Structures are given as structure tokens and as C-alpha cells.
Amino acid sequence: MFNLFFYKNKNIIVFFILMTLSIASIAFRSMRAKDLLSEVYNFVTLPFAELLTGTTNTISSLWNNLLYYNERLEKMKLLEKELEKKQASFENVELLQQEINRLKKMIDYKAVIPKLVPSSVESIAADIVMRSPNNYFPTFIINKGRHHGIKKSMPVIAFQLLRREGHPETLEQVVVGKIDQVTELAARILPITDPDCIIHVKLKSPLYSEYTGFIKGFGSYSQGLSLTNVDKSIDLVGEETLINEELVTSGEQSIFPRGIKVGFIKEDLSDESSNEKRFRVTPHVEYSRLSSVFVLKKELPKQLMKLIESMR
Amino acid sequence: MRGYIFRFLILFVSVLLQSVLLDKLLPGWGKPDIVLILTLYFGFKGGVMTGQTTGFLGGLLEDLPSGKQFGVNILIKTLIGFGAGNLHKKIFTENFSTIFSLVFIGTLVKEAMYLIGNQILPDTFTLYKKSGLLDFLLDIVLVETLVNAFLAPFIFKLLNKLNLSLEKEI
């Protein structure tokens, strides 16, 4: 009787079972089974992901090298001509040297990267091997995990060439996010665009460097960040506004070392009635161009970690 | 059993392609949702059970690398698989325009579910705040819907050729 009932209604019964499982997986955020599944998933997929990433990287770097070779050749020719001119006039040689150094730096920036990581903080270099399969939630899986010394909540930074209108192109350290989940051989990064990734920052300009605030993502899709808790009594010089002001990590109340670039102020969202200033911030990190990151070996005190875990 | 293994493998490869390769080929937004296309295909061809289990499995594989949004894709893809399964043998999915239209509608339904989910559970979905709705509609909904719809007929043809012995399984 029961068997007949099950056979007749198997589609609906299975549908309800699957629905219950789906809703339960959303409702119970910190399930042990989820972590276990992630561990198995990373273990199985990592070799394939590494292989695919490696192959695509090789092909794209070959292509880039080809393009770059031509570009470099042209630049070299230009430099040679310029050098001849400079040598002839024997003026501004120092400027030319600086230009050559800048170009060299751009060419070999990968080799320069390890030297730029703050020497006081130990770091682990990692490659992004997987990204979120869908368009909605930007998550990144790196090829280093517990085995390599990575722990939850460790800060993640990267080096990127910052291109902003009216500013010279520079290679800078930028905040990427925090480690959100760690398995034996891989780890997941929570990007700064996520509302759960909160970072204490300060204004970089020496005029306003004592003003601080908290950076928080607007949402995984929105890409922008919100800067809140900025003192409303901020004294602006003359007619100045804070638009385009640079933001860096404050080093206080945070695991991020001081002075790492986060983004720049895009828009003032302050409300007259509020007793704090709020801004929209454009992050420096460009996730689509990111391939390697550095996990800084800085941890929250164990008691604080326990407190956060218990709150979750 | 062969059908199940085939589906699992094809879903696994699709998720891997979406996570690794498509991100490099199409950096930023506008990646096609191959798992959704597969869920619709298996639903239309195999019926309710095939559609919903494919959706569930595909959603699970998509959600495993994600963080707090775990379960979102499982729920949405299972519902879509169930819906597509109910159209089994009711529609003819062999010509370009039918497949295009069905996948176009299927993707819109998925996007609508995300939008509704974002309204009901903003802390879980965290897609955008109020000001980001227009960008979301233009960049994600429009682009992904069109990309999926154009890609689907080719994927359907490829899967038809592979002839996964699905009919026998059912």
C-alpha cells in the first residue's frame, strides 16, 4: 500500500525532500556537514582547477608576452632615441633613468612583489584557482590552505597597477578581503565588497589623517563600499570636499597593517539629520584582474575569535 | 545509473568551466549559467525527477565554493528543474527558436527568484542595496538572459548528440 503510494507520488515526495534540504541549508548557516562537503569539494576540484588555471595562464601569458614583446620593442626604440637625444645634450639624464626604472618595474613587477610586502608581517603568496561559478556572489578560492599556515580571518592583499584619471600609474598594495573559510589545501576569500567584511580605515591625506571610519560592502553585486562613522565635525580646508580622497587601513581595531590602500571617496551620502558622515567609496581592487594574492599571517586574538564564532 | 553518473560528470565539468575558464574569457559580469541550461535540458527531456535532481545537484556544486549564500542556488535550481520537468513531453524542444524562448524565460524566472530572494532575505542574498537595482537589471539580468538564450540551442544540440541514454534510464 505504502509502496504504491510512494511510487505514484514519488516526484512530489522527492521534490519536498529536496526543498526541505535546500531551505535547511539556507537556514542553518554554520552546519558541520557544509564544512565537510566544502572540504571534500575542494579536495576533488583543486587538481582540476589548478590544471585548468595553469593551462589558461600559460596560454594567456604566451599571448601577452607576444604582445608585450612588440610593445617593449617599440618602447625600447623610443627609449634609445630619447637616450641618444639626452646623451647628446647631456641633460635630464636622471629623469630618463627614472623612466627606465619605472618601465622596468612594470615589466618585472612580479619579481618586485615579495619585496613590497611589509617586512614586519609574514605573508603567504597564493594563486586564485577558482571563482564563483555564477554572476552573483564574488568568491575566490586560493590554492593555499590550512596545510600552508592559513587561518580564518587572516587579511588578504594584492598588488595592482592603479590607474586613476589625473594620477600617475603606480604599483600599490591594495586590500582584497579576509579569509572566510579554510580547508586543508585551499581557502576562500570574503571580498571587501561583502557587507560582512568590515575594515577600519583612515583618510590618507595628511590634512585629515586623524579622521577614521568603517568600510563595509554595499552588497556582492553593487561593487561599491560604504564609509561610515566619520566624524561630522571634520574641518575641511576652504572649499575642499572629500571627494577623491584616498582611504588606507588605519592599523587600529583591525588585523590589516597600517597604510594599505582601500579605495577613494566617490560620493557624499551624508544625511543632515545624522550625526556622522557617510560616503560611497570605490575600491581600488579590481577583482577581474586579480590572479595572485598575499595572505598576511596576522590573526585576531583567540578570545576574540571565539567570541565572534559564538555570536555567529 | 549511467544517466545519473553522466549528469553528475557533465554538471561537475560545467561548474569547473564556469569557475575557472569562463571567468578568464569573460572577466567581470555576464557569464552564462551553463548549470541552468543543463537543468532546463534535463527537465524538458527527462521529466520532473530528472529535472529536480539535476537542479539540486547543480545548485549544490555551484553553492559549495560560495560562503554564506550556501543553499540559494540549490533552492532556485531545484525549483526550476521541477518546473521544467513538468513541461516534459508537452513541448517540442528541437528547434532554435523554441529553445531560445524557453531558456530566455527560464533565465528570467531565475533572475526573478534572485530578486524576490534579495527582498525577503537581504542578509543571505546581499546582491545589491536599493541604488544598485538598475545596474543589476542591466548588467546581470539582461546580459545573462541573452547569453544563456543564444548559447542554449548549441548546448542542447551537443547533449542530444551525446545521447546520454536518458530515455532508457527513465
| A146-172 residue pLDDT tens | 888 898 889 999 988 887 777 777 788
Listed residue (A293, A297, A290, A249) closest to A113, CA to CA? A293
Residue A289: pLDDT band with limits 50, 70, 90: confident
Q: Could you count the other beta carbons within 10 Å of the beta carbon of residue A141?
A: 28
Assign domain B2-169 to a CATH class.
mainly alpha
Of the listed ranges A77-86, A108-117, A254-263, the one predicted with least confidence: A108-117
Strand partners, A175: A157
Give me chain B's average pLDDT, please: 82
CB neighbour list of residue A230: distance below 8 Å, 6 or more residues apart:
A211, A212, A213, A276, A277, A278, A279
Amino acid B82: pLDDT: 93
- Closest Cα in chain B to A37: B64
Residues B76, B62 contacting (CB under 8 angstroms) = no
Q: How far is A41 from chain B (nearest CA, A)?
A: 7
Residue B43 to residue B54: CA distance in whole angstroms: 8
Residues A6, A13 contacting (CB under 8 angstroms) = yes
Question: In this complex, do A221 and B132 lie within 8 Å of one another by their Cβ atoms?
Answer: yes
Question: In this complex, do A52 and B129 lie within 8 Å of one another by their Cβ atoms?
Answer: no
Predicted complex ipTM: 0.81
Cell of A106: 612594470
Of B12, B28, B126, the CB nearest to A194: B126
Of A42, A48, A219, the CB nearest to B128: A219
Listed residue (B35, B18, B128, B123) closest to A141, CA to CA? B18
Question: In this complex, do B132 and A29 lie within 8 Å of one another by their Cβ atoms?
Answer: no
Which chain B residues contact residue A11 at CB under 8 A?
47-49, 52, 85
More confident residue, A257 or A169: A257
Residue B150: pLDDT band with limits 50, 70, 90: very high
Amino acid A282: pLDDT: 87
Amino acid B18: pLDDT: 85
Residue A216 to residue A224: CA distance in whole angstroms: 9
Which chain B residues contact residue A197 at CB under 8 A?
none
pTM: 0.67
Amino acid A278: pLDDT: 84
Residue A110 to residue A104: CA distance in whole angstroms: 11
Q: Could you count the other beta carbons within 10 Å of the beta carbon of residue A23?
A: 13
Which chain B residues contact residue A36 at CB under 8 A?
none
According to DSSP, residue A253 is labeled S
- Closest Cα in chain B to A41: B64
Of the listed ranges A86-90, A240-244, B91-95, the one predicted with least confidence: A86-90
- Closest Cα in chain A to B33: A134
List pLDDT tens digits, range B17-76: 888 877 766 665 668 889 999 999 999 988 899 999 999 999 988 888 776 678 888 999
Of A129, A130, A180, the CB nearest to B67: A180
Looking at chain A, the whole-number percentage of residues with pLDDT higher than 90 is 3
Of B20, B33, B71, the CB nearest to A49: B20
Amino acid B165: pLDDT: 55
Which chain A residues contact residue B74 at CB under 8 A?
21-22, 25
Which chain A residues contact residue B113 at CB under 8 A?
none
Question: In this complex, do A10 and B20 lie within 8 Å of one another by their Cβ atoms?
Answer: no
Listed residue (B122, B113, B4, B53) closest to A19, CA to CA? B53
Strands (E), A132-224: 140-142, 155-162, 170-182, 187-191, 199-203, 212-217
Q: How far is A62 from chain B (nearest CA, A)?
A: 15
Residue A64 to residue B124: CA distance in whole angstroms: 39
Of B29, B67, B79, the CB nearest to A139: B67
- With 0-12 / 13-18 / 19 or more C-beta atoms within 10 angstroms meaning exposed / middle / buried, residue A21 is middle
Listed residue (A52, A248, A249, A33) closest to A141, CA to CA? A52
Q: List the single best residue of B9, B20, B136, B145 to mutate versus A (max A Cβ within 10 A).
A: B20
CB neighbour list of residue B105: distance below 8 Å, 6 or more residues apart:
none
Q: List the single best residue of A22, A34, A160 to mutate versus B (max B Cβ within 10 A).
A: A22
Question: In this complex, do A222 and B69 lie within 8 Å of one another by their Cβ atoms?
Answer: no
Q: How far is A165 from chain B (nearest CA, A)?
A: 21
Which chain A residues contact residue B64 at CB under 8 A?
37-38, 41
Residue A309 has pLDDT above 70, yes or no: no
Q: How far is B39 from chain A (nearest CA, A)?
A: 15
Cell of A172: 600599490
Q: How far is A221 from chain B (nearest CA, A)?
A: 5
Of B23, B123, B125, the CB nearest to A131: B23
Of the listed ranges A12-26, A27-41, A279-293, B57-71, the one predicted with least confidence: A27-41
Looking at chain B, the whole-number percentage of residues with pLDDT higher than 70 is 82
Q: List the single best residue of A9, A64, A127, A136 to mutate versus B (max B Cβ within 10 A).
A: A136
Query: HEC string of A12-45?
Result: HHHHHHHHHHHHHHHHCCCCHHHHHHHHHHHHHH
Looking at chain A, the whole-number percentage of residues with pLDDT higher than 70 is 82
- Closest Cα in chain B to A13: B49
Strands (E), chain A: 123-131, 140-142, 155-162, 170-182, 187-191, 199-203, 212-217, 225-231, 246-249, 261-268, 276-283, 292-296
List pLDDT tens digits, range A37-70: 888 888 888 888 888 888 888 888 888 888 888 8
